[in-house]
Amino acid sequence: MFKSTTLTSAALLAAVSCIAWVAAPTHAAVLFSSDFSGTDNAPLDSSPDWVNTWDQTNGTNTFTMQTVDNQGYLTKTGADIGTYKGVKAEIAGSPAKFDPADQLRFQLDVNRMYDPRSRIGDNIYFVQYLSPANLTSQPYSATPERLLLFVVYAKGTSPSTSKLDIYFQQAKGSGSGNGTNLWTVTGLSANGLEVDNSAQTPNMDIQFAMELRNDSSGDARAGYQVVYDGVGSGWVYSNWFNVEGSGQPFDANWAANWAGNTQWYVEIGGGYGTGGPSQTWIDNAIVTGVPEPTALSLLGLGALAMIRRRKA
The pLDDT, as a whole number, for residue 289 is: 96
The average pLDDT across 92-99 equals: 94
**Which pLDDT tens digit goes with each residue over 242-283?**
999 877 889 999 999 999 999 999 988 755 555 667 788 899
Burial (CB < 10 A; 0-12, 13-18, 19+), residue 168, is buried
| More confidently predicted of 292 and 70 | 70
The answer to whether the CB of 64 falls within 8 A of the CB of 46 is no
Report the pLDDT averaged over residues 280-297. 77
Instruction: Please give the C-alpha separations between residue 268 and each of 38, 56, 62, 281, in angstroms, as whole numbers.
Output: 20, 11, 11, 11
pLDDT at 4: 39
Tell me the pairing of strands 84-91 and 263-269.
Answer: antiparallel
Q: pLDDT value at position 135?
A: 87
Q: Between these two residues, 311 and 291, which has the higher pLDDT value?
A: 291
**Cβ–Cβ < 8 Å for 137, 303:** no
- Per-residue pLDDT tens digits for 182-191: 999 999 988 8
The residue ranking higher by pLDDT, 159 or 45, is: 45
pLDDT beyond 50 at 218 = yes
- Report the run of H or E that residue 258 belongs to, with start and end: helix 254-258
Amino acid identity of 109? D
Residues paired with 75 in a beta bridge: 64, 279
Q: Which residues contact 294 (CB under 8 A, 6 or more apart)?
A: none
Q: What percent of the chain has pLDDT over 90?
A: 39
Average pLDDT taken over every residue of the chain = 79
pTM listed for this prediction: 0.82
Q: Which domains does the chain have, with CATH numbers?
A: 7-24+293-312 (no CATH), 28-292 (2.60.120.200)
295 with 21: CB under 8 angstroms? no
Quick one: average pLDDT of 97-106? 96
What lies within 8 Å, CB to CB, of 35 at 6+ separation is 70, 283, 284, 285
- pLDDT recorded at residue 203: 79
| C-alpha closest to that of 48 among 33, 60, 63, 58 | 33
Other Cβ atoms closer than 10 A to 260: 13
Contacts of 263 (CB under 8 A, 6+ apart): 88, 89, 95, 96, 97, 98, 130, 131, 132, 133, 134, 135
* 14-44 b/e (C-beta count within 10 Å ≥ 16 → b): ebbeebeeebeeeebeebbebebebeeeeeb
Average pLDDT over residues 110-117: 80
Q: Which of 92, 83, 215, 213 is nearest to 147 (CA)?
A: 213
